[in-house]
Amino acid sequence: MGHRITTQNRGKGGPTYRAPSHRYKAELRHVRDNLGTVNGSIIDIEHDPARNAPIALVRLDNGTKTYMLVTEGIGVGDAVAWGSDIDVKNGNTLPLENIPAGSVVCNIESRPNDGGKFVRSTGVQAVVVDKTEGKVGVRMPSGKTKWFNAQCRATIGIVAGGGRVEKPFVKAGAKFHKIKNTASNWPRVRGVAMNVIDHPFGGGGHQHAGRPKTIARGTSPGRTVGHVAARRTGKSRK
């Protein structure tokens, strides 16, 4: 009997395809500022296995410590703040309604007080472009304008670490440790390189699929390989 193919294994679940969240340092949620302005000072810049961007360890005025997403240009000893009546400067977090149009922002909340959901990847940024009653339009990194509740908070600045992912891995060991912190299986073996009992594309006198690669969406998991539910097939004639 053959082995389960990747799609079957992933659907079954298990530690191989589960993100090692026990290694991650923090969820990087915005500090709650319901009772007014919260001030803090950056005491360290650290690496987080969960992301490519660095994170900052911040000591708040009340003595507690928290992590935040680092923006370009801030470092150890810099002051940061969360609130509505604070300066619009790099590293501070304000409601979108208090951020002027044209400002560069990151780590935007999807709903008020959810802690930040959008524009958190290394080197990305969004721009506040328009405001209406109760809504703020933000041009996302994709170029699309998305409208948020005016009470949603965002951090001023660009996420640090831009260009970090452009560095080549050089050796397999570096790639191994990188993928080890994600919900991925690596290295990935090509189906045509497998035996006939291990994959629908396996076997044969030479490496070839041996069957049509376009497959229906409802096909059984053991056959769901190739171009699943392809919108079109054949050579493009543009």
Q: What is the pLDDT of residues 51-105, one digit of tens each?
A: 989 999 999 999 999 999 999 999 999 999 999 989 999 999 999 999 999 999 9
Same domain? 102 vs 146:
yes
Residue-level pLDDT at 55 = 95
In the block, which residue shows the tokens 């990305």?
124
Of 164, 191, 210, the residue at which a domain comes to its end is: 164
Same domain? 212 vs 136:
no
Of 164, 198, 214, the residue at which a domain comes to its end is: 164
DSSP category for residue 9: H
Same domain? 144 vs 224:
no
In a domain, 112, yes or no: yes
In a domain, 213, yes or no: yes
Residue-level pLDDT at 14 = 87
In a domain, 189, yes or no: yes
Residue-level pLDDT at 45 = 96
Range of the domain at 196: 6-16+183-228
In a domain, 224, yes or no: yes
Which structure tokens are listed for 135?
């809504």
Same domain? 205 vs 151:
no
Same domain? 45 vs 110:
yes
Q: What pTM value is reported for the model?
A: 0.81
Same domain? 135 vs 214:
no
Which structure tokens are listed for 136?
């703020």
Same domain? 12 vs 25:
no
Helix (H, G, I), strand (E, B) or coil at 228: strand
Distances (CA, A) of 43 to 37, 40, 57, 59, 81: 19, 9, 6, 7, 14
Residue-level pLDDT at 236 = 86
Distances (CA, A) of 113 to 34, 47, 99, 118, 126: 9, 25, 16, 13, 19
In a domain, 177, yes or no: no
Q: Provide the CA 154 distance to its chain's centre, in angstroms.
A: 16
Same domain? 194 vs 110:
no
CATH code of the domain covering residue 202? 4.10.950.10
Residue-level pLDDT at 1 = 57
Residues of the chain with pLDDT under 50: none
Same domain? 99 vs 35:
yes
What is the H or E stretch that residue 59 is in? strand 55-60
Number of other CB atoms surrounding residue 236 within 10 Å:
5
Using the CB atoms, write b or e for 7-29: b if 16+ within 10 Å: beebeeeeeeeeeeeeeeeeebb
Closest to 20 measured CA to CA, from 182, 225, 128, 155: 182
Residue-level pLDDT at 234 = 86
Distances (CA, A) of 199 to 12, 185, 195, 230: 17, 16, 7, 20
Q: Name the burial class of residue 72, with classes exposed (0-12), middle (13-18) and buried (19+) by CB atoms within 10 angstroms of its CB.
A: middle
Q: Do 4 and 90 touch, CB atoms closer than 8 A? A: no
Distance (Å, rounded) from C-alpha 147 to C-alpha 149?
7
Same domain? 117 vs 209:
no
Residue-level pLDDT at 199 = 93
Count of domains for the chain: 2
Closest to 151 measured CA to CA, from 135, 171, 175: 135
